Amino acid sequence: MRNRKPLLAGLLCAGLLAAACGTSGGAAGGSAAPGPQGFTPPKLTPLAQLGQPEGQLSVLAWPGYAENGSNDPAVNWVSPFEQKTGCKVSVKTFGTSDEALSLMKTGQYDVVSASGDASLRLIASGDVEPVNTALVPNYADVQPFLKDKPWNSVNGVMYGIPHGWGANLLTWRTDKVIPAPTSWSPIFEANSRYKGKVIAYDSPIYIADAAVYLMAHQPDLGIKDPYALDQKQFQAAVNLLKQQRPLVTEYWSDYLKEAQSLKNGDSVVGTAWQVTVNQVQKDGAPVQSTVPSEGATGWSDTWMVATKSAHKTCAYDWMDYIVSPKANAEVAEYFGEAPASAKACGLTTDKNFCASYHAGDAGYASKIYYWTTPIAQCLDGRTDTQCVDYSDWTKAWTEIKG
Amino acid sequence: MSAVSAVSAVSAVGAPRHAVTTYLYRRPVVRLGLLLSAPLLWLGLAYLGALAALFITAFWSVNSFTGQVQITWSLDNFVSLFTDSVYRTITIRTVGIAVLVTLVDAVIAFPMAFCMARFASPAAQRVLVIAVLTPLWASYLVKAYAWRTMLSGNGFLHWALAPFGLDSPGYGLTAVVITLAYLWLPYMILPIYAGLERLPESLLAASGDLGARPLRTVRSIVLPLAFPAVVAGSIFTFSLSLGDYIAVTIVGGTSQMLGNVVYSNIGAANNLPFAATVALVPVVIMLVYLAAVRRTGALDNL
């Protein structure tokens, strides 16, 4: 330490170098002018024709969407695809749409199964490109009420292939929660008998679940769309979730952690996906799930192809394969959702499967409030007020968890 | 004479090398600079460079819809960090957990280290040091999930404590403190053990000769001399707890720590600039802590 000169000089040099790197990094912000959905997507052209399969495909998927037999050797629809096309598939799963979004930004993935709260943001940032549906023969069998929807298309241009849809279900332990609930009230009301045993989803989009509850229980707030909340409505939903917090054992984003919590009885009632319910039942704990009287939030998922993908032929082959009747039926039955392909219903092992998931029922599908990204421009058509956008949802979520 | 001629014969080949060594011998500053350049480059680029980048990023912002980073300079992130009460609560909670973990570890580690250093035979000491280090061989996640299972409502703790009329604390802050204290215990034991081992036997004997009882000897001789070692251990436990965010997601129930805010701003909110701002908080806390600790001489004990 007696001789500080070289030390200081070295540090200074290194510091300056790093600072220079820091400033030059990062993309310039694309501030898009608002269009019909609040934004104009970057101009990108879809793939014109398929080439030779590139031999590799990197898939970013919700858990249960791209099973390669590693969770259950009997559940495997990735290997048949690999054999058919020669595209070697690597699968990465994610727990929330936000996680999917930031993973897509790394540019490492070729295709992604995006829900409505991620798809529009991916389109707006140019991370995914329009899809040439003519190159996806099985697209013809996709239920018409899933095509050209606000969450998967912009100005009539499809940005992906619809995959399946379902609801975030009210789930409970039948041995601990008696009588069986028909409303979300046991997980929201302060006097709930299940205090400290409630499990809730760990994502800002969960605020919409509170909004759905308020739509039924506080009609004077005038909520029409749980993703279009003005300041007053938003505050009411946030307050409801703050009231809920003392009831909550855990917030989950990893469905296996939730399954473990339900199985051990650390939580007995909450919101879950059908795949979690199936998992817990398989582990031998008695759970049931339902869409309660207030309705539910849900998802309608779309396979999208990354703009920067170097394996686009494999990506198109994958999108075509995953909505082919057989694969679509397998995914839908395993994950527990309604398949997008109309022909998948004929191939499920349980012949009543599509009926119980209301797969062809456009009326039922319209009752679920599909995840979508809240933006400042109100999605329910109001023009006299500003809605709360997703970055404020995120901030509020940190505040709710405290 | 013959030695000198031999050197000059060899130096016909090695003359440039000879010149370099002579040059370096005459200029200690250059010599030191060259010696230090590799570690300094590492320290500067990989560590301080990263910190500098973090600091710079903290002034940027993010497009709320597309999630792209926008390079516009503003203090907004710092304003919300200081004005939103939720971040203050989380900071206080995190520091509280880190302090508690450090205290629990110090209380458990001191007697253990004392026994190891003073009462065990040299052979037993070696075995005990290995025994203390063994838990570090197992993965962090395995240990954290083991605690998750043990702390569960019908887990091991519930079963073991039921006869005493007690119950498992369940998932929450207590569970986080227990888990972290378990995870970081070896980092506290080893520095204290090293410090106590250096404690001169003669001082203890002198204290006894002067009529001090064992407790008085511990209070007046052992504790003051071992204090820097305890502080050295606390640097590990405190800083490791301060930055932890995994244990709290596994056993913490609904609680969040500073690390979780950073993580959710990277993963969920995709707001890297704000994550950078929050990440500076533990850095600042550690700098303050290290500055305070420097006076105790603990840094010589690491």
Domains with residue ranges and CATH for chain A: 56-165+300-366 (3.40.190.10), 169-295+375-401 (3.40.190.10)
pLDDT digits (tens, 9 = 90+) for A314-331: 999 999 999 999 999 999
Residue A16 has pLDDT above 70, yes or no: no
Give mean pLDDT, residues A258-286.
Answer: 91
Residue of A nearest to B38 (CA): A10
Write down the pLDDT at residue B152: 86
ipTM exceeds 0.85: no
The encoded tokens of residue A317 equal 């082959």
Give mean pLDDT, residues A255-265.
Answer: 90
Residue of A nearest to B270 (CA): A102
Residue A365 has pLDDT above 80, yes or no: no
Contact A28 B71 (CB under 8 A): yes
Confirm or reject contact between B40 and chain A (CB < 8 A).
yes
Write down the pLDDT at residue A10: 43
Write down the pLDDT at residue B72: 83
pLDDT digits (tens, 9 = 90+) for A164-191: 988 899 999 999 998 999 999 999 999 9
Write down the pLDDT at residue A349: 86
CB A317 within 8 A of CB A144: no
Residue A6 has pLDDT above 90, yes or no: no
What's the burial of B46, exposed, middle or buried (CB within 10 Å: 0-12/13-18/19+)? exposed
Write down the pLDDT at residue B235: 92
Confirm or reject contact between B254 and chain A (CB < 8 A).
yes
Residue closest to B99 by CA, chosen among B173, B169, B6: B173
Mean pLDDT of the residues in chain A: 85
Contact B71 A402 (CB under 8 A): no
Which residues have C-beta within 8 Å of that of residue A94, sequence separation ≥ 6? Answer: A60, A61, A62, A63, A100, A103
Residue A259 has pLDDT above 60, yes or no: yes
Confirm or reject contact between B74 and chain A (CB < 8 A).
no
Residue closest to B54 by CA, chosen among B300, B278, B289, B302: B278
Confirm or reject contact between B60 and chain A (CB < 8 A).
yes
Contact A7 B45 (CB under 8 A): no
Residue of B nearest to A244 (CA): B254
Write down the pLDDT at residue A15: 40
Write down the pLDDT at residue B43: 84
Tens of each residue's pLDDT in chain B, 302 residues: 444 444 444 444 556 778 888 888 888 888 888 888 888 888 888 888 888 888 888 888 877 666 677 888 888 888 888 888 889 999 999 999 999 999 999 999 999 999 999 889 999 999 999 999 999 999 999 999 999 989 987 788 888 888 888 888 888 899 999 999 999 999 999 999 999 988 888 998 999 899 989 899 988 889 888 888 999 999 999 999 999 999 999 998 888 999 998 888 876 667 788 889 999 999 999 999 999 888 777 677 66
**% of chain A beyond a pLDDT of 70:** 91
Q: Which residue out of B270, B274, B280 would a mutagenesis test of the A interface target, given it has the greatest number of A Cβ atoms within 10 Å?
A: B270
Contact B33 A248 (CB under 8 A): no
Residue A24 has pLDDT above 60, yes or no: no
The A287-290 sheet, strands edge to edge = A248-252, A198-201, A269-272, A169-173, A287-290
State the smallest CA–CA distance between residue A34 and chain B in angstroms: 11
User: Which of A51-60, A131-140, B31-40, B184-193 shows the lowest per-residue confidence on average (mean pLDDT)?
Assistant: B31-40
Confirm or reject contact between B71 and chain A (CB < 8 A).
yes
Q: Which residue out of A120, A243, A398 would a mutagenesis test of the B interface target, given it has the greatest number of B Cβ atoms within 10 Å?
A: A398
Contact B69 A27 (CB under 8 A): yes
User: Which residue is associated with the tokens 């993580």?
Assistant: B263
pLDDT digits (tens, 9 = 90+) for A332-345: 988 888 899 989 98
pTM exceeds 0.95 for this model: no
Residue A242 has pLDDT above 90, yes or no: yes
Residues in B 85-114 with any Cβ partner in A closer than 8 A: 86, 89-90
Contacts of A7 in chain B (CB under 8 A): 36, 40
State the smallest CA–CA distance between residue B282 and chain A in angstroms: 18
Write down the pLDDT at residue A17: 40
Write down the pLDDT at residue A2: 42
Class of domain B74-301: mainly alpha
Could you tell me the residue ranges of all domains in chain B? 14-57, 74-301
**Which residue did the predictor score with more confidence, A92 or B66?**
A92
Contacts of A375 in chain B (CB under 8 A): 65
Confirm or reject contact between B141 and chain A (CB < 8 A).
no
**Which residue did the predictor score with more confidence, B92 or A381?**
B92
The encoded tokens of residue B208 equal 């006894």
The encoded tokens of residue B257 equal 């720590």
For strands A157-158 and A153-154, give the pairing. Answer: antiparallel
CB B76 within 8 A of CB B60: no
Write down the pLDDT at residue B13: 52
CB B43 within 8 A of CB A14: yes
Q: Which residue out of A102, A260, A371 would a mutagenesis test of the B interface target, given it has the greatest number of B Cβ atoms within 10 Å?
A: A102
